[in-house]
Amino acid sequence: MDLSRRSELQEIMDDPALPRAEYERCLHDLAAVNRVTLTHRPTLRWLERATRGLPADRAVSILDVACGGGDLLRAIHRWAARRGRTVRLEGIDLNPRSAAAAAARTPAGWDIRWRTGDVFDHMPDPAPDFIVTSQFTHHLADADIVRFLRWLERHATKGWLIVDLHRAAFAYRGFGLLATVARWHPIVRSDGMISVARGFRRAEWERLLAEAEVRGEIAWQLGFRWSVSRLK
């Protein structure tokens, strides 16, 4: 695999022809991947900083783009509950199976709204305080990432955060080995390696932000990831 530039290979889970049972098994193993690789930690740490100056009794609205099976929003719900903070949570995903899968995995009484749709057609009303997304942008071509950065800047009233993968040989081979040892679904193993190959290096994020004419803070995160964020 040539990692000198972003791969254009497509991930199998994005294929609408994938049988539902296989999709459900992949979601189950992806949740395990997220736990083992501490996927949600950068987002929770950023939200801690982003909400620090807000009154404790003020409800905070958060939109998760490409929410998948809903792991991140459930982690945010638990984070907010531990702090006694009220949150209004919503997730959107292009895959029509995601909303039902996320709802089925969410405990009764948790007020999280799941939506199906293309983020570029979505005009949040009211606009959320914060928009977050984890490991979504590597699915996009560079031109659409520029478009997405502008969308985030336009619709997030207080700030936005992108967390995505760093493209490196160690991460590429290391995930393949980890997935094999953990006996995760073969699609999860294959897609995970493709995800790394579609990932980013710092200079690429700098270029994308410049093309979008959007200011953003780029930071290295645990687990071979980058965060790109802005607080307003």
Q: pLDDT by residue (tens digit) across 148-187?
A: 999 999 999 999 999 999 999 999 999 999 999 999 999 9
Cis peptide preceding 126, ω within 30 of 0:
yes
Mean predicted lDDT score pLDDT of the chain: 96
Residue 67 clears pLDDT 90, i.e. is over it: yes
Q: SS in 3 state form for 164-182?
A: EEECCHHHHHHHHHHHHHH
Question: ∠96-121-214 over CA atoms, to 5°?
Answer: 120
The answer, yes or no, to whether residue 113 has pLDDT greater than 90, is yes
The radius of gyration computed from the CA coordinates of the chain, to the nearest angstrom, equals 17
Cβ contacts of residue 115 below 8 Å, gap of 6+?
90, 91, 92, 93, 99, 122
pLDDT, mean of residues 91-111:
94
Instruction: Domain ranges for the chain, please list them.
Output: 39-167+201-231
- Which of 195, 194, 192, 173 lies closest to 184, judged by CA? 192
Q: Domain 39-167+201-231 belongs to what topology? A: Rossmann fold (3.40.50)
pLDDT digits 0-9 by tens, 180-229: 999 999 999 999 999 999 999 999 999 999 999 999 999 999 899 999 99
CB 153 within 8 A of CB 125: no
Q: What is the pLDDT of residues 11-65, one digit of tens each?
A: 999 888 889 889 989 999 999 999 999 999 999 999 999 999 899 889 999 999 9
pTM summary value: 0.96
Residue 215 exposure: Cα atoms within 13 Å on the Cβ side: 4
* pLDDT number for residue 16: 84
What percent of the chain stands above pLDDT 90? 92
pLDDT at residue 15, as a whole number:
85
Q: Give dist(CA 35, CA 22) in Å, integer.
A: 20
pLDDT at position 14, please? 81
Q: Which two tokens mark 51?
A: 């909400």
CA–CA dist 16, 74 (Å, integer): 25
